Structure 1
Amino acid sequence: MRMQIDQQLIRHCRKGDRKAQFQLFKSCFPLLMGVCVRYKKNEEDAREVLNMGFLKILDNLDKYREEVPFEAWIRRIMINTLIDDFRRSRKVRELIEYQDFQENPAAGELVDLNEAEKQFSAEELTALIRQLPPVSQKVFNLFAIDGYSHQEIGNMLGISDGTSKWHLSFARKKLQEMLAGLLNASRVIRQ
């Protein structure tokens, strides 16, 4: 889904035209909400951050350059808003959560994450990602979905590259275990 934004609409928004700003919001909403729900536990929190991010987009429209794809520009602002929100809300020692990290020996075989994409809907996979601890969830989204490097993630979250790699590895392993559990449950139901 490619987003088409008329440059004239952006010019009207820059001039403070409320109708144009509302039209821009409606046009950007699906893309931005898609970004936000990957990082927040529920839709209400996602909408709250989306609204903060959209205000930043409006405040910074004068800095937007037409040679840059508008979609990439607003996505970057939204991800930065999500990271800022995370930094504000995290507790002092939340960076490395060891609770619930005990190994689950009954998990059995692991699942190939690429195969899981074929067998599960995007909504099901998103629900599983939301079950990860907050930092692991954010690292997984930033690396696997948004394409950031560990160095970039470390800078955004205030963690080392090694810690980012650990969280990604942990997230992948947990997702594989959860997917294996779902696959085993669905096999039992079908029998």
Structure 2
Amino acid sequence: MQIIKRNGSQEEYDSSKIARAIKKSFAATSTKLAEDEIAKLVSQIERRMAEENATSVEHIQDLVEEVLMREGYFAQAKSYILYRSRRTELRQQRQEIAGLVGDEGIDALILRMQHDFLDEQYSTSALLNRFRGFLTEDMAYQQRLEALVRAAVELTSKEAPKLRNDAILSRSAASVTLL
């Protein structure tokens, strides 16, 4: 089955993504759930997907929320809902920055930044606000890029970047691979 992503592209359905999201919602509430229970939840979601012909990411995520609540996992459903909301907010910030620069390709770079760096210290909303302060309507593309870099530099501390632990590990693994 093909899933329709938010950007309109399609990819093959992967049940492990739903299982991973469920695991994260339980981890966020410091609760463990056995693998067979996760598999049961995924099975219920897939059944609902078939019943409703759900092929969009948004629709599938709605079904995850519904199944979690129906099964009495209210704290985990709340965690999942809050996670989705935060991801939507970050996506909108990335898209706005890309639109202001005039280069949709910069979205991937900002997504990587959001993944690798701690939000408390490298906030996309702070970057967007600082960037907006440097913009004028008559700026050319190169000037907009320079304004974005200036905004990023001003928000960077003198200390070494504070990467997420998983980003540090993946960069270490990449370094070992290069050797």
* Structure ranking higher on relative contact order (CA contacts 8 Å, 6+ apart): 1
Asked if Structure 1 and Structure 2 have the same fold, meaning a TM-score greater than 0.5 normalized by the shorter chain, the answer is no
TM-score, length-normalised on structure 1?
Answer: 0.30
